[in-house]
Every structure is written in C-alpha cells, then in structure tokens.
C-alpha cells in the first residue's frame, strides 16, 4: 500500500522533519507559489510557519499486538502499518485461514465487518483483498490484507466468519477473484451470464457486456 | 416468492424449499436494483459522488450521507465544526425515527395490521417537512457536505423539532396500544425468526437486529462520531432475538432518538458550519474505513485515495445486504406466512442491498 501510494504524489511522502532550510519543497501540497522563488522576499523563507512539514499519515505499526502476532506467524506478516490511526496488517495469502482463526479465537476479533478488494493493475500482485474485522471485547477495528495476482486463489474465510459468504461472492462478481473453499461461489449482484468483472480497473465502462445487453434488453448499448 | 411480491419491500426474490407449509431452506436472489455505485464513484469527484449515496438507502438518506461525508473528512484529516456536528446529529436522529416509522408501518401492514401505517406516515410526514424546510428535499436530501453543511439551520428549526418531539411522545404510546399487547401481533411475532447472539455476530448482523439478540453494541456509543458523545441515551437490547424483541428494540430506539433531539436543540453552538476544506478535494494518498450507526445497522465506507480528485476505490458496507444474509438462518422451520414477517423484521431496503 504505502509504496504504491508514494509513487503518484511525491510531495506527500512522509519525509520526516526537514531541517528548516532556506528553500521549502517546490511543490508543497498547499501550493503557495510565491514563497521561495520570489527574490523580492528574502526574509520570508526563514519564517517558522511557512514550510509546513508534510503530515505523516502512514506510520509503521509496532505495538504489543503486532509483537505477539509476529512471534506467532513470523514471516507471514509482510507489513504492519497505521494509516490515519487505523491499524493495517498485510499477511501472506497462503496462511490466511490460520491467521483468521487466530484473530477470531485468540485475539477476539469476532466480527468480520467488511470484506472487499482493490485492484492495482500495475503491481505484480494486482489484487488486494481487504478484511475489516472488529472486536467487541476490545472495541477495536483491524484491517487485514492479502495480495493476489491475476488467477491466484485466495483462501475463503467463510468457515471462520460465515458473513464472508455473500461478501466473497460479491468480490468474485466484481473482481473475478476466486476464493478457494467457498461453499457456493457464483455471481451475486450481476446476472449469471455476465461477462467480465466491472470493478477491475481495466473494465471499460463503455465496452461493457454488449452481448448481454443486446440479447436481454434489446438495445445496442447500455450507455 | 418475489421479485414483485408486495411484502418483499422492493425487488427481492426468495427461493423457498418447502416441506408442506414449513420452510426447510431458502435462497435470496438479489441484484435487480444493482446500479454499480462503487464503479460510478471511481469516475466522479468526492463531492460529485455524495448525492449517489442517498440513493442506496433512500428511506434513510441523511444517515448514509453522514457516513460518507465523515469518511471523506477522515481521509482529508479535517473535522466538521461543532455547530455542523450538532445539526448533523439532530437531522440524523430525525431520520432514524422516520426510517423506523416506515419500517413499523409496513411491517405491521405485512402482518395484517393496517392501521399503524396511517399513524406512522402521519408522523413521518412531519419529519420530512422539517427536511424539506432545511434543504428543500424530502427523501434524497443530500443534506450534508464534506467538511460541514451547505445550509445554515433555518430560523424555526429548533421550534419545529421541539414541537415534533413533544407530540411524538404520546404518538409512540398510540402505536404501542395498537400493537404491543395485541394478541394477534404477539402470536405472529413472538418466537418467530429467532437469531441467537452468537449467530448474529457470526453473520455480521448489526443495528437493531443485533441488539434484539442481546448484544449491547451501538457505534454511537462504541466509537462516537458527530456529536453523540455529548448526549445521554440508552441502548435498548432484547433477550430472545425474535421478531417481537426486534419490534420492542426499535420502538425504544425511537424514544431514545427523540431524547437525543431534545438534548441537541437545547444547545446548538454558534460558529461556522463549514470546516477548512478547499473547493477541490485532493485527499492525501491512503485509505480509511469509517462506519456509523445507520437506522438499519453499521454502514461503513472504505475509501482509498491515490491523491487525485477522484476516489481510487469506494467500497460501501451496507447493513441491509449483510443483515439479509441471516435470513436463511431465521426462516428455517417456520411457516410460509412467517417469511413475510421475517423479511419485514430485518428491515431491508433493496436499493442498499443491490447498490
């Protein structure tokens, strides 16, 4: 997550405390253009408030819970971070089932609030499957992510949280991610004969399933 | 059953496996109202997408709108000013009452009690009038903006809300006299569609359905948002998790919402109604999950930003969709006539199930 998000927008990269040098970053997000380039105002740059240090939103997460988790799963924990104070763990796909059971039984994350996916076509593992779990006992949320390339299967967590059933079907419907071990993996919102997976980034909304539209609605295009 | 059956509250199709009159299995066929809002979001700016969320749960548009605005605010790392938060709370609680009233009227109608519908719509009308006076719309209100509010509270808002709350106290008693001790009502709802607490949690059920099963959990208390941390209110819970309990929980919730409104109008802070957000919203890259307690349960927004003006991904966790999953568990072993009661008691809106 973090490395990708850094690419498109360098100004936001958490660079830590920059020493108050005379030249503020050229493209501060707030975009005050007149700060440094104007020779007429040489006294401005040293002003303490002018170059705002970029707000650090993504920080590595390292607390008791993560230490416990790392001790148990070691290398299966690929990354632990916080984004806007929300905890995120990136874990190995193959061990998801084991990890899910551990989270539910030992860490008391008894409810799966939400399960979805995000498509990043340019990465070598294009799909992120995102599980949002909640613990009643701790009143805490946690986000668990696994990465999957095209045509790679993700273990289904229906056995751990039955609510995942429809949510995994929706992810299959929209992204075409196959969940291995799912009891009844089929489309849920779209018609069964639909071609393509609409929430993939390369699904062209104008080039939708024209054949289905023609056949079932009797018009050339849905657009 | 369905998708055109009047008791399915929209276009829900249910395949039932029967043994005589008894249901031994079921499957919900959904998607008739799918509009692809999550895809639409990727092609709109953050502000442009806000009106779309009103069209998911169209009988509780204010609540969905609040969830979306707060999620984007979290993503932007800004906060709405106190005045905006209090006005948001008032309108959202009114919306909760309106949504529960619509549920009560139609649910009772499904079971065969015609009268409550008229009473419920009478009060709901008053709430919609307040919305109309506030923002010009009654149903898909788009009442809030990212960062605060578009409209200042109109002059008599407090008075209108106060008058409504005063009247409403005795109105709830009216509904209760019609139903709570009614032998037919009790016969049709008690012991029907029981959902245990363990099942409810396993199926991710939230909102009044979860509370009726005895889990005392409400996001307004657990993770307060808007201005809920300032007000005193109770979380009603049930014991058996049957249809009758869910009825009682929602009735009590309306009373609590009324109390919240009364506390809120007492002291609306002055000040700006819009926080410090620009005209063009470019949230820093990253992601956020924010959930609020909508009338039907937890509505969550998972938004990923790539630093541009359009969201990279918006995922909505709709309470109706998730709660409907527990339908199969609730309906097994009951009669066909109870199916109608159980669909009603989950309180779904198909616009939100299908998105």
* Closest chain B residue to the Cα of A59, Cα to Cα: B286
Q: Residue B256 is encoded by which pair of tokens?
A: 């609590």
Q: Which of A183-187, A215-219, B80-84, B145-149 has the lowest mean pLDDT?
A: A215-219
- What are the φ/ψ torsions at residue B66 (nearest 5 degrees)? -60, -45
The shortest C-alpha distance from A17 to chain B (Å) reads 18
What is residue A131's predicted lDDT score, i.e. its pLDDT? 92
Whether residue A101 lies within 8 A of chain B, CB to CB, comes out as no
Architecture of domain A58-189: 2-Layer Sandwich (3.30)
- Residues 6 or more apart whose CB falls under 8 angstroms from that of A157 comprise A96, A97, A100, A112, A115, A131, A164, A168
B85 in any annotated domain: yes
Average pLDDT of chain A? 76
B2 in any annotated domain: no
Instruction: Work out the average pLDDT over B88-96.
Output: 92
**Alpha carbons B275 and A59: distance in angstroms, whole number:** 26
Which is more confident, A210 or B269? Answer: B269
**Helix axes A96-105 and A64-73, enclosed angle (nearest 10):** 140
**Alpha carbons A12 and A57: distance in angstroms, whole number:** 9
ipTM for the predicted complex? 0.84
Residues of B in contact with A166 (CB under 8 A): 321-322, 325
User: Does residue A37 surpass a pLDDT of 60?
Assistant: no
CB contact under 8 A, A132 and B287: no
The shortest C-alpha distance from A27 to chain B (Å) reads 14
Please confirm whether the linkage preceding B229 is cis (ω < 30° from 0): no
B25 in any annotated domain: no
Residues of A in contact with B30 (CB under 8 A): 188-189
Which CATH number covers residue B330?
Answer: 1.10.645.10
Whether residue A90 lies within 8 A of chain B, CB to CB, comes out as no
- Residues 6 or more apart whose CB falls under 8 angstroms from that of A95 comprise A73, A76
CB contact under 8 A, B201 and A141: no
What is residue A54's predicted lDDT score, i.e. its pLDDT? 62
**Alpha carbons A94 and B289: distance in angstroms, whole number:** 25
pLDDT per residue over A98-135, tens digit each? 889 888 888 889 899 999 999 998 888 889 999 999 99
Provide CATH 3.30.460.80 ranges for chain A. 58-189
CB contact under 8 A, B287 and A1: yes
Return left, alpha or beta for B99; rule: phi > 0 is left, psi -120 to 50 is alpha, else beta.
Answer: alpha
Whether residue B217 lies within 8 A of chain A, CB to CB, comes out as yes
What is residue A47's predicted lDDT score, i.e. its pLDDT? 46
Q: How confident is the model at residue B222 (pLDDT cuts 50, 70, 90)?
A: confident
B14 in any annotated domain: no
Which is more confident, A91 or A38? Answer: A91
What is residue B8's predicted lDDT score, i.e. its pLDDT? 64
Q: Rg of chain A's alpha carbons, rounded to an integer? A: 23
The shortest C-alpha distance from A211 to chain B (Å) reads 18
Whether residue A112 lies within 8 A of chain B, CB to CB, comes out as yes
User: Does residue B63 surpass a pLDDT of 80?
Assistant: yes
- Residues 6 or more apart whose CB falls under 8 angstroms from that of A29 comprise A11, A12, A54, B282, B284
B247 in any annotated domain: yes
Average pLDDT of chain B? 88
- Which element (helix H / strand E) includes A60? strand A58-60
Domain extent for B238: 32-275+304-354
pLDDT per residue over B108-123, tens digit each? 888 888 888 899 898 9
Q: How confident is the model at residue B341 (pLDDT cuts 50, 70, 90)?
A: confident
Residues 31 to 70 of B: which have CB under 8 A from any A CB? 31, 34, 36, 38-39, 43
B293 in any annotated domain: no
Whether residue A28 lies within 8 A of chain B, CB to CB, comes out as no
Q: How confident is the model at residue A15 (pLDDT cuts 50, 70, 90)?
A: very low
What is residue B315's predicted lDDT score, i.e. its pLDDT? 93
**Alpha carbons A88 and A79: distance in angstroms, whole number:** 8
Residues of B in contact with A202 (CB under 8 A): none
Q: How many structural domains are present in chain B?
A: 1
Instruction: Work out the average pLDDT over B257-271.
Output: 89
Which is more confident, A37 or B67? Answer: B67
Whether residue B25 lies within 8 A of chain A, CB to CB, comes out as no
Q: Which of A83-87, B8-12, B241-245 has the lowest mean pLDDT?
A: B8-12
Whole-model pTM? 0.81
CB contact under 8 A, B222 and A190: no
Instruction: Work out the average pLDDT over B199-219.
Output: 90
Residues of B in contact with A198 (CB under 8 A): 36, 39
pLDDT per residue over B227-254, tens digit each? 888 888 889 998 888 899 999 999 999 9
What is residue A52's predicted lDDT score, i.e. its pLDDT? 56
pLDDT per residue over A45-83, tens digit each? 444 455 555 667 778 887 888 888 888 888 888 888 888
Percent of chain B with pLDDT over 70: 98
Q: How confident is the model at residue B290 (pLDDT cuts 50, 70, 90)?
A: very high
Q: How many cross-chain Cβ pairs, A to B, lie less than 8 Å apart?
A: 105
CB contact under 8 A, B31 and A86: no
Task: Say how many residues make up chain A.
Answer: 223
Whether residue A157 lies within 8 A of chain B, CB to CB, comes out as no
- Beta sheet of B297-305, edge-to-edge order: B286-294, B297-305, B313-317
């Amino acid at each position: 997550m973090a490395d990708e998000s850094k690419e498109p927008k360098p100004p936001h990269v958490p660079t830590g405390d920059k020493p108050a040098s005379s030249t503020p970053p050229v493209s501060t997000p707030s975009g005050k253009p007149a700060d440094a380039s104007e020779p007429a105002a040489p006294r401005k740059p040293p002003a303490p408030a002018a170059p705002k240090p970029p707000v650090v939103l993504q920080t590595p997460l390292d607390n008791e819970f993560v230490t416990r988790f790392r001790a148990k799963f070691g290398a299966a924990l690929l990354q632990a971070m916080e984004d806007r104070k929300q905890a995120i763990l990136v874990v190995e796909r193959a061990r998801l089932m084991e990890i899910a059971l551990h989270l539910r039984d030992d860490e008391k994350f008894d409810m799966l609030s939400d399960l979805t996916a995000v498509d990043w076509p340019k990465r070598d593992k294009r799909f992120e499957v995102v599980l949002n779990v909640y613990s009643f006992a701790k009143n805490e949320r946690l986000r668990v992510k696994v990465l999957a390339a095209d045509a790679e299967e993700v273990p289904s967590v229906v056995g751990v949280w039955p609510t995942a059933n429809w949510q995994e079907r929706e992810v299959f419907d929209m992204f075409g991610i196959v969940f291995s071990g799912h009891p009844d993996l089929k489309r849920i919102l779209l018609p069964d004969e639909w071609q393509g997976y609409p929430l993939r980034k390369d699904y062209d909304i104008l080039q939708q399933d024209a054949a289905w539209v023609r056949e079932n609605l009797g018009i050339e295009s849905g657009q | 059953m369905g998708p055109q059956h009047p008791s399915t509250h929209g276009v829900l199709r249910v395949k039932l496996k029967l043994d005589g009159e008894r249901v031994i299995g079921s499957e919900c066929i959904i998607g008739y109202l799918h509009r692809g809002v999550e895809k639409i979001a990727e092609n709109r700016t953050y502000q442009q997408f806000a009106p779309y969320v009103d069209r998911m749960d169209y009988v509780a548009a204010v609540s969905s709108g609040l969830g979306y605005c707060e999620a984007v605010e979290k993503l932007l790392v800004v906060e709405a000013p106190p005045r905006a938060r209090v006005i948001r709370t008032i309108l959202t609680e009114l919306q909760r009452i309106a949504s529960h009233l619509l549920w009560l009227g139609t649910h009772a109608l499904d079971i065969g009690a015609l009268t409550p519908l008229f009473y419920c719509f009478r009060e709901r009308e008053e709430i919609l009038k307040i919305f109309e006076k506030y923002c010009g719309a009654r149903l898909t209100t788009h009442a809030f903006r990212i960062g605060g509010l578009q409209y200042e509270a109109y002059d008599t808002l407090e008075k209108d809300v106060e008058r409504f709350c005063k009247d409403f106290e005795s109105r709830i008693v009216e509904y209760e006299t019609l139903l709570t001790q009614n032998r037919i009502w009790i016969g049709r709802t008690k012991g029907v569609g029981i959902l245990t607490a363990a099942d409810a949690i396993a199926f991710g059920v939230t909102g009044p359905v979860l509370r009726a099963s005895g889990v005392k959990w409400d996001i307004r208390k657990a993770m307060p948002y808007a201005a809920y941390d300032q007000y005193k209110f109770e979380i009603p819970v049930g014991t058996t998790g049957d249809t009758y309990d869910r009825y009682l929980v929602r009735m009590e919730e309306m009373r609590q919402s009324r109390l919240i409104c009364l506390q809120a109008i007492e002291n609306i802070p002055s000040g700006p109604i819009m926080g410090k957000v620009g005209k063009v919203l470019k949230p820093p890259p990253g992601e956020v999950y924010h959930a609020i307690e909508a009338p039907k349960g937890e509505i969550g927004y998972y938004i990923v930003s790539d630093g541009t003006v359009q969201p990279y991904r918006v995922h909505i966790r709709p309470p109706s969709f998730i709660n409907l999953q527990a339908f199969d568990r609730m309906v097994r072993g009951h009669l066909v006539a109870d199916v109608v009661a159980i669909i009603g008691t989950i309180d779904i809106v198909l616009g939100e199930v299908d998105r």
